[in-house]
Amino acid sequence: TRELGQPFALYECSKTKPELLEDSEVKTLLQFVRGFLFFGNNLFYLSENELSNNIKWLDNNKTIPLLYTKAFFGWRNLSDEQTHTAFHGLNYLFRGLDRMRMERKIDEERSLEDFDLFLKDMNKLGLENELVWTIEAYLNLKRENPEKAIIALEKLKNSPLFSDDERKAFEKTIGHLKKRDSKAALNGIYDKAFMAKVISKYMISTLLKIEWERVLKENNVPHTKEIFDSVNKFHKRIGLFSNIE
């Protein structure tokens, strides 16, 4: 029910109990969604717990087929090994974001370690996208490597994913770096909240492209037709109420 927004999705996820499920691929996907939603609602410690459980499971199950994960993220062109690496990296990415938003110095240090591990996984795949460029820019800002940070920010600025205002923010950050002022770049336009917004926007845009009904049918999920009949009826009722002034 993505049209109803994150608050409704957060409510739905709060009613799930993944700890009652057997360790499995489906459980890790549910925990990832919960972690993503908790992060988006500033529930960082709850999010960190879900993602840490996932990382532990993935480290202990390196050869298991990940059919649902491929469908979930649209990674049908990846092998099982590549899918494992990509999903492993995403969990490190969002755990790093959780820790980045926490208050203790040790959490910030751990967040940088998570970001390094995310990039390590992406480099294994030879992958470049907005997630990679965002983290590359942040790490190079933190480590005062302005030239490398500018390269990543230029790629972000030219991405069609972002609005004109967001592109202006990237340009302003590049301006600070050209003046050798990494501190102004980190504490100004390209701060932690902005970075989290950029990454969440990329992830939401990815999930919105997925044709969930087709994915469920292809993977033989029981009662798919009944599920979507109910969802579609619910959307029609919401539409009727939205026309009432």
Per-residue pLDDT tens for 160-184?
888 898 888 888 888 888 887 666 6
Using pLDDT thresholds of 50, 70 and 90, give the confidence band for residue 219.
low
DSSP string, the chain: -GGG-HHHHHHHHHT--GGGSPSSHHHHHHHHHHHHHHHHTT-HHHHHHHHHHHHHHHHH-TTS--HHHHHHHT-TTS-HHHHHHHHHHHHHHHHHHHHHTSSSHHHHHHHHHHHHHHHHHHHHHT--SHHHHHHHHHHHHHTT-HHHHHHHHHHHHT-TTS-HHHHHHHHHHHHHHHTT-HHHHHHTTS-HHHHHHHHHHHHHHHHHT--HHHHHHHTT-TTHHHHHHHHHHHHHHHHHHHT--
Indicate if the pLDDT at residue 224 is higher than 70.
Answer: no
What pLDDT score was predicted for residue 126?
A: 94
Average pLDDT for 186-210: 75
The reported pLDDT for the residue numbered 243 is 38
pLDDT at residue 62 greater than cutoff 70: yes
Residue 240 has pLDDT above 50, yes or no: no
Q: Looking at residues 73-82, what average pLDDT do you find?
A: 89
| Average pLDDT taken over every residue of the chain | 81
Q: Please compute the mean of the pLDDT values over residues 203-211 and round it to a whole number.
A: 70
State residue 198's pLDDT score. Answer: 83
pLDDT digits (tens, 9 = 90+) for 140-154: 988 888 899 899 999
